[in-house]
Structure 1
Amino acid sequence: MDLRRMFILPTWSCLHFLFCISIISFFFCSNLAVSFKTVDTLPGYSGTLPFKLETGYIGVGEYEDVQLFYYFVESEKNVEKDPLVVWLTGGPGCSALSGLVYEIGPFTFDLASFDGTLPSINLNPYSWTKVASIIFIDSPVGTGFSYAKSPKNYPSTDTTWTNHLYMFLQKWLSDHPQFQKNRLYIAGDSYAGKIVPMLVSEIKKGIENGSEPRMLIQGYIIGNPVTTYNHDTNWRIPYAHKLAIISDEYYKFAESSCNGEYVNPDPSNFKCLYALQPIQQCIEGIFLGNVLEPTCKFTAPNPNTGKEDQSDETTTSTTEIDIDIFLRSEEEPWCRNHNYIPSYFWANDPSVQEALGIENGTISDWKRCNKSLAFESDVPSAFEYHQLFSNSTPFQVLVYSGDHDMDIPYLGTLSWIHSLNLTGDCNWKPWFVNGQIAGYYERHKRSENQFYLTFATVKGAGHTAPEYKPKECLALVDRWLSSYPL
């Protein structure tokens, strides 16, 4: 008998067994690598939170090097039956906290009492969590509290952002199986208007390929959405004409000279360039986010010094915001960007980061919108996704626009919607909240595949409509999700 074989075979078997266990453990851990916590209290709020808040990280990408941070708030009405909504804030690079606090989440800051210290928290009676459970995701990587373990993984594109979100959602639903039976909607505004349909497309492919967990995707919601940036912004001049910001004479001259191209006119078309000069003078002082509000320069305050960080976000402006002047509001006209200052003090506070479960050393300075994000757009237009869905998928789609938004004017959004060549199901008519006109809407459909698209304006709202008209936007989304007439 060969004694060597007696001992070699068992030894090989043991090694093989241990190797297999290691491989199984690796894949098991990588598929379920979710770190989250339930947050019962938050600095700035007295007592226990009256809603269920969960925060955490989910690793995505190669070796889970990218860690996406999220906030999850359960529906305050019926968790089992209400839909699950994934919310994407725009930018790219604007934190999910911005969408949560300033748009559709269950709490906001007490702006009236803010004095440059840790802001107090107020509850938002118009939170969309009144009718849905919502996941707010800091994405792409480098946004908010999301980070990469290696510097090489910070650069991202539309495509990688979308892929990371799909991986995130697969893992989150695997770890929260009780929500796999809820209706799923992907939602977002501004630049996320491109990413939302891209993510929906990935989910659709996964369903067709039999991927698990199976997602009950029903449709999507996009607000003041970027679709094709050049197309969207080209409508600013026709929009400005409709609002009497530029005269009939200026507009007609530009219309006849520029062949409909105002953003990137032919540099050899001197007649067009000449026509655009007085128009630019008319609109350069307008705050694009809301044409009725003042323009200002926003440089985020450093919460450690109270001074402003000049490297941060700025908008077209005529006035510098100083934190001391902000606290003496009678000395400086109010500007919407004042509202964002408390978020820097709150999110950078160590007690807040501890309560949220932020990993130590992963970020040095939280920003509401990270303008230094290593991001490149590699998908010029989202229109093809809308076109594909409208021709093949039984989706419900809601598109809304603040009608005072000149950044992404509703005229451009309506233009691409009409080019889908859907059947008109409901012509332009008003919708109401508390007996008052809240906006106007129209509904389109393709009966062959039960595709329905509702477009609504929100009267008086600017870019990111829920920030301006929270009560009206909650009524809008509540009716739409419940299949009630607007």
Structure 2
Amino acid sequence: MEFDIHSYNGGLPRLLYYPYTWTKTASFVYVDSPVGTGFSYSISLDWSTSDTKSIEEASQFVRKWLIKHSQYLNLRLFIGGDSYSGLIVPKITKRLIEDNDAHVEPHLNVTGYLVGSPTTDQHINVNSRVILAHRLALVSDQLYEELKISCKQNFVDVDPSNTACLTALSKYEKNIEGILTIDPLEPNCAFASPRPELPLSVRKSLVDQSSDEQQFLLSPPKVPSDLRCRAFNYALAYNWANDPGVQEALHVRKGTVKYWSHCNQTISYTKDIQSVIDVHMWLSQRPLEVLLDVGDHDLVVPIVAAQTWLKILNLTVSYKWRPWYVDGQVAGYTKKFDQEAYGYRLTYAIVKRGGHTAPEFYRRECYEMFQRWLHFYPL
């Protein structure tokens, strides 16, 4: 489905049929996680949660759902997610496989997992933003060299006494403050005015700064008159999801969620996982099909980060770097890895001009990518 923005004049947005939805290829169970996001709720007064707790809850949900709907137990099971879920999905997959190894009933047919623009290692992720910003010509060669030398290529947890590095980071942030980091190619309509200048003393590292993606979703965006702005789609989502008729059609229990929001910032959430590279290594010794897709213009989770942690896995290249096509046009580039001894295969797909996350920007291309991967076709 997609919103009909051209006929929108207030009230409930009209939905249009979209022919390349992923549900044409596979059955999906969408989960609002952690509890408190989307239309999910808890009868407990304590909604505090964490990466570790949400992984445990999601793993239990998958098993309980399949027990209740046992007709799906024999189907291939894939776990998927994107962005911050890059820290969550591999852990859920590992947990379900470990349960199978321990002969927990019922046995789940875990076939693989997919992660899109995934946060995989926080340190690598943050450092990669500076590198990609330079590659996209958002940062000059001179400033890039200044950053590399003064910060020693480490932009996380910078020593407060390293004035040269802090100064270089200040220049870097000034360079990109008007850029929409989820996609630098699109107009930045998220802020009415530039973000306030931060004192040098508080700029300890890039990781201290909220990404544009997070700030973009802090509060319901007002409907802009300029349809170029991606914020328009987000504004329509608020109008649609909070309509009583829509909530009734979705079987949302009355009184449980007073107001739907794209990102619930009121949840007490502890980020207690910083890296899952070791989990990917563990999973690479299992017979799994894996899809990793990234947009090459994503400054939130840069393509550089994916390339960095993929090298750490030290997988065997089974198909070398090449373009992949949709309707005769280059949709991106791909490379395939494997661990033949274990039956593990990983498809790495880059979506050309894709932002954060790629399916939001290039839906047709990402549908073709998904359905080919799912049916074991080469991209």
Partner deviation per Cα, 1:158-207 (whole Å, 9 max, x = no partner): 11111111111111111211111111100110011111001001101110
Q: Does 1:314 align with 2:215?
A: yes
Alignment of 1:15-54 (within 5 A): none
Partner deviation per Cα, 1:247-286 (whole Å, 9 max, x = no partner): 1111112112211112332222222223323222111111
Q: Is the 8 A contact 2:222 2:235 kept in 1?
A: no
Q: Is the 8 A contact 2:112 2:289 kept in 1?
A: yes
Task: Give the equivalent residue in structure 2 for 1:254.
Answer: 147
Alignment of 1:18-167 (within 5 A): 107-152=1-46, 154-167=47-60
1:108 deviation in Å?
A: 2.3
Task: Give the equivalent residue in structure 2 for 1:274.
Answer: 167
Task: Give the equivalent residue in structure 2 for 1:221.
Answer: 114
Q: Is the 8 A contact 1:298 1:337 kept in 2?
A: no
Task: Give the equivalent residue in structure 2 for 1:283.
Answer: 176
1:233 deviation in Å?
A: 1.8
Task: Give the equivalent residue in structure 1 for 2:132.
Answer: 239
Task: Give the equivalent residue in structure 1 for 2:204.
Answer: none
Q: Does 1:360 align with 2:254?
A: yes
Highest relative contact order (Cα 8 Å, sep 6+), 1 or 2?
2
Task: Give the equivalent residue in structure 1 for 2:278.
Answer: 384
Question: Higher mean Cα deviation, 128-137 or 347-356?
Answer: 347-356
Task: Give the equivalent residue in structure 1 for 2:65.
Answer: 172
Distance 1:119 1:482 in 2: 35
Partner deviation per Cα, 1:427-467 (whole Å, 9 max, x = no partner): 22111111110001111111221211111110011001111
Task: Give the equivalent residue in structure 2 for 1:349.
Answer: 243
Q: Is the 8 A contact 2:288 2:344 kept in 1?
A: yes
Opposite residue 181 of structure 1, the aligned amino acid is N
Distance 2:20 2:191 in 1: 27
Partner deviation per Cα, 1:300-325 (whole Å, 9 max, x = no partner): xxxxxxxxxxxxx73399xx9643xx
Q: Does 1:194 align with 2:87?
A: yes
Q: Does 1:399 align with 2:300?
A: no
1:333 deviation in Å?
A: 6.7
Opposite residue 454 of structure 1, the aligned amino acid is T
Q: Residue 287 of structure 1 aligns to a residue in which SS?
A: coil
What TM-score comes out, normalization by structure 2 length?
0.90
Structure 1 residues 174 and 322: CA distance shift in structure 2, 3 A: closer
Opposite residue 200 of structure 1, the aligned amino acid is T
Partner deviation per Cα, 1:347-372 (whole Å, 9 max, x = no partner): 11111111211111111111121122
Opposite residue 314 of structure 1, the aligned amino acid is Q
Q: Is the 8 A contact 1:116 1:342 kept in 2?
A: no
Given candidates 341, 360, 376, the residue that maps to 1:483 is 376
Distance 1:197 1:464 in 2: 18
Distance 1:321 1:362 in 2: 23
Task: Give the equivalent residue in structure 2 for 1:24.
Answer: none
Q: Which of the two has higher C-alpha Rg?
A: 1
How many residues are treated as equivalent by the alignment?
Answer: 357
Q: Is the 8 A contact 2:138 2:176 kept in 1?
A: yes
**Backbone CA RMSD of aligned residues:** 1.8
Task: Give the equivalent residue in structure 1 for 2:96.
Answer: 203
Q: Residue 369 of structure 2 aligns to a residue in which SS?
A: helix
Q: Residue 276 of structure 1 aligns to a residue in which SS?
A: helix
Q: Residue 215 of structure 2 aligns to a residue in which SS?
A: coil
Q: Is the 8 A contact 1:156 1:375 kept in 2?
A: yes
Partner deviation per Cα, 1:107-163 (whole Å, 9 max, x = no partner): 2222222222011111121111111001111111001111010212x1111111111
Task: Give the equivalent residue in structure 2 for 1:452.
Answer: 345
Structure 1 residues 216 and 333: CA distance shift in structure 2, 3 A: closer
Distance 2:169 2:252 in 1: 49
Opposite residue 28 of structure 2, the aligned amino acid is I
Task: Give the equivalent residue in structure 2 for 1:36.
Answer: none
Given candidates 183, 186, 192, the residue that maps to 2:76 is 183
Distance 2:334 2:6 in 1: 34
Distance 1:170 1:389 in 2: 19
Distance 2:362 2:222 in 1: 27
1:298 deviation in Å?
A: 6.7
Q: Is the 8 A contact 2:221 2:234 kept in 1?
A: no
Q: Residue 28 of structure 2 aligns to a residue in which SS?
A: strand
Structure showing the higher strand proportion among its residues: 1
Question: Higher mean Cα deviation, 392-401 or 274-283?
Answer: 274-283
Q: Residue 100 of structure 2 aligns to a residue in which SS?
A: helix
Unaligned ranges ≥5, structure 2: 193-213
Opposite residue 81 of structure 2, the aligned amino acid is G
Structure 1 residues 421 and 162: CA distance shift in structure 2, 3 A: same
Distance 1:316 1:213 in 2: 39
Q: Does 1:295 align with 2:196?
A: no
Opposite residue 261 of structure 1, the aligned amino acid is N
Structure 1 residues 285 and 263: CA distance shift in structure 2, 3 A: farther
Q: Is the 8 A contact 2:325 2:332 kept in 1?
A: yes
Distance 1:155 1:382 in 2: 22
Q: Residue 88 of structure 2 aligns to a residue in which SS?
A: helix
Task: Give the equivalent residue in structure 1 for 2:195.
Answer: none
Percent sequence identity over matched residues? Answer: 41
Distance 1:361 1:281 in 2: 45
Structure 1 residues 458 and 140: CA distance shift in structure 2, 3 A: same
Unaligned ranges ≥5, structure 1: 1-106, 300-312
